[in-house]
Chain A
Amino acid sequence: MTLLKLSNLSDLAAALQAQGYRVVAPIQDDAVVRLRSWRPGDTVRIAALPVNSPKDFLFPRCEAIGRYVLDRDGFTSEDLPARAEKTVLLGIRPCDVAALAGLDSVFAWGYPDKFYGERRAATTIVSLVCPSADDDCFCTSVGGAPDSTVGADAMLRLCNGGTAMTFASMTEKGKALDAVFGQFSSPGEAAVDPVAEVPVLFNSEVVTDWCSKSFESTVWRTLGLACLGCGACAFMCPACHCFDIQDESTDAQVDRLRNWDSCGFSQFTLHASGHNPRPDQPARWRQRMMHKFRYFKERFGRVACTGCGRCGRLCPTGMAISDVCREIARAEEVR
């Protein structure tokens, strides 16, 4: 058995970088741990759940998808290349890996998205068997597991009390990293650390079934009362993929930008005529739940929630999607 010492992570990141990879990892950033591109001097905090998700690196918050050079009475359009750097996502938790499968489905659906697709093809996922969960985690309620290998190219597992890791590559992309990981590994005995314990909070099949028959439920009204429509849940969600397209222009040039959006925002569905099919927060919250647990599942065969718990941790009014699902499932099981 070969082991990689935790203290070698920075050297490993540097070695991957030297091979031309952008290394995205959980990095200590002031008081929080954030996924970002590793730079020399950064501390990789592999065991901590980062505040943001890997979505940021495949489907960025804001991205130019078109460029137009303006002249006196018209424009010329430029087809922008995708910025697809060869990337290693290092130490990504199984919940976040699972969310990428959903994004893969959406961005390949009928009209393959060049920007997402090229970045995804250039990305190698080195996931981490999840060592710790908090009260907001619920991957096991939505078909995931803290030690799931699904979707990963290679997998790390902490051992010997979090001081070392094992590395196992599963795919061609993962095996391409064998040599670099091997370089920083040495033979040793491994006592693997325990996997995070994530209790099952609800049965997601029950939630999906309930959604299928409860469009007109009064539950939406009660839920909607608490929602401020701030969109924090959607922006931090690894699976949310709604976006807006806006033009940003100077007198000489226009960049057509794709930006994250949220079904919780009041302008999301607002027509130019003033009509809004989802006129209030209850209607928008219903869309959020319905899309994740019913529509997405009908279309792509999986729910658009992987139980990472970020929405619950971040919501200023404490509306965790897991609480809502638990309430729904409990009410259904009592019936």
Chain B
Amino acid sequence: MNENTYHPAVLRIVDARDEAPEVRTFRLEFVEEADRARFFEKYRVGMFGLYGFPGAGESTFCVASPPTRERYIECTFRKVGRVTSALQDREIGQTITFRGPYGNSFPIEEWKGKNILFVAGGIALPPMRSVIWNVLDRRGEFGNVTIVYGARTVADLVYKHELAEWAARGDVALTTAVDPGGETPEWKGRVGLVPPVVEAVAPSSDNGVAVVCGPPIMIKYSFPVLKKLGFAPTAIYTTLENRMKCGVGHCARCNVGGVYVCRDGPVFTLAHLETLPQQDM
């Protein structure tokens, strides 16, 4: 007899942190040890889950913590609709539902010894944070780590304490930026949109891979910059989002062309994306 794919695990909120206006991080522990073990057996960075609360439904977003932290998972999400509002109403000690991990992952085992550039905008740092921490938790296996992260305003930057932690490390090159007008008098980072900031930072593409995640417009203008810096389309990775219900390829909602974001993605190389119909994204 098959198990019920839709029967979720139950996670308890053990910590909650406000990151930016309407953006919150939960640290979550599996109530059942068997669910925890099963999750970490499959989980690789880039995979996603469906987080839910009965009565509100389920919503798809990334797992923001790396598989190297095996006691818990973390997620960071903005309050946008019914499900994310219901989730943000939950407090420490209370429980939510979770299905996953689903989807493919970033091939970080192939990145050993390579230099890695992370380019993120706004609320799209969370899907990349799991990769960043995965790499930093295994720091010796990878080359240079460069992070360029921008948001609309200083307040919109997420993981502010972790940005400070990365900035203080000698083995990470971090550049932060805010859009013009988004700075405060105390702001010490750059002022500018992410693509030109990447161009100015000009990280070497030599033996490198680039991981890009952000709003569609940022991604669109970052690809040409990365190509100009010499990154091949096969060495540029991003992660797509589309509305999902099942998460396992059955509800047929998340197609981009013939590709199922839930099964074939969410991680894609630029080389693959270029073969897909842009209008479907």
Tell me if A247 is interfacial: C-beta within 8 Å of chain B. Answer: yes
Pair A77/B250 contact, Cβ less than 8 Å: no
Give the docked Cα–Cα distance between A212 and B242 (Å).
Answer: 22
Tell me if B180 is interfacial: C-beta within 8 Å of chain A. Answer: no
Tell me if A268 is interfacial: C-beta within 8 Å of chain B. Answer: yes
Tell me if B136 is interfacial: C-beta within 8 Å of chain A. Answer: no
Give the docked Cα–Cα distance between A290 and B259 (Å).
Answer: 12
Pair A298/B258 contact, Cβ less than 8 Å: yes
Who on chain B is nearest to A106 by CB? B250
Pair A247/B55 contact, Cβ less than 8 Å: yes
Pair B81/A272 contact, Cβ less than 8 Å: yes
Among candidates B4, B95, B249, residue contacting A75 with C-beta atoms closer than 8 Å: B95
Among candidates B7, B54, B97, B250, residue contacting A109 with C-beta atoms closer than 8 Å: B250
Tell me if A5 is interfacial: C-beta within 8 Å of chain B. Answer: no
Tell me if A114 is interfacial: C-beta within 8 Å of chain B. Answer: yes
Q: Which of A10-18, A22-30, A145-153, A236-244 contacts B (4 or more CB under 8 A)?
A: A236-244
A33 to chain B minimum Cβ distance, whole angstroms, is: 29
A113 to chain B minimum Cβ distance, whole angstroms, is: 6
Pair A278/B280 contact, Cβ less than 8 Å: yes
Tell me if B253 is interfacial: C-beta within 8 Å of chain A. Answer: yes
A324 to chain B minimum Cβ distance, whole angstroms, is: 19
Give the docked Cα–Cα distance between A95 and B255 (Å).
Answer: 26
What does the 1/0 interface line of A242-261 toward B look like (CB < 8 Å)? 11111101000010101001
What does the 1/0 interface line of B47-76 toward A look like (CB < 8 Å)? 000000011111100000000000000000
Give the docked Cα–Cα distance between A277 and B256 (Å).
Answer: 9
Pair A269/B246 contact, Cβ less than 8 Å: no
Query: Which residues, 269 to 291 on A, are CB-close (under 8 Å) to B?
Result: 269-273, 275, 277-278, 283, 287, 290-291
Give the docked Cα–Cα distance between A68 and B80 (Å).
Answer: 24
Pair A245/B251 contact, Cβ less than 8 Å: yes
Tell me if A74 is interfacial: C-beta within 8 Å of chain B. Answer: yes
If over half of A's interface residues share one DSSP class (helix, strand or loop), that class is named, otherwise mixed; here it is mixed
Tell me if A299 is interfacial: C-beta within 8 Å of chain B. Answer: yes
Pair A272/B80 contact, Cβ less than 8 Å: yes
Do A295 and B258 form a contact, CB below 8 Å, given A241-B250, A261-B251?
Answer: yes
Tell me if B187 is interfacial: C-beta within 8 Å of chain A. Answer: no
Beyond known contacts A77-B97, A111-B250, A272-B84: 18 more, CB 8 A cutoff: A66-B4, A75-B95, A77-B8, A107-B250, A114-B3, A118-B2, A215-B277, A242-B251, A242-B253, A243-B246, A245-B245, A245-B251, A256-B6, A256-B57, A271-B241, A277-B242, A295-B257, A299-B258
User: What are 8 inter-chain pairs, A to B, with CB distance below 8 A?
Assistant: A80-B4, A106-B252, A114-B1, A215-B257, A216-B279, A245-B57, A291-B252, A298-B258
- Residues of B at the A interface (CB closer than 8 Å) are 1-8, 10, 54-59, 80-81, 84, 94-95, 97, 216, 241-243, 245-246, 248-258, 263, 277, 279-281
- Residues of A at the B interface (CB closer than 8 Å) are 65-66, 68, 70, 73-75, 77, 79-80, 106-107, 109-115, 117-118, 215-216, 241-247, 249, 254, 256, 258, 261, 263, 268-273, 275, 277-278, 283, 287, 290-291, 294-295, 298-299
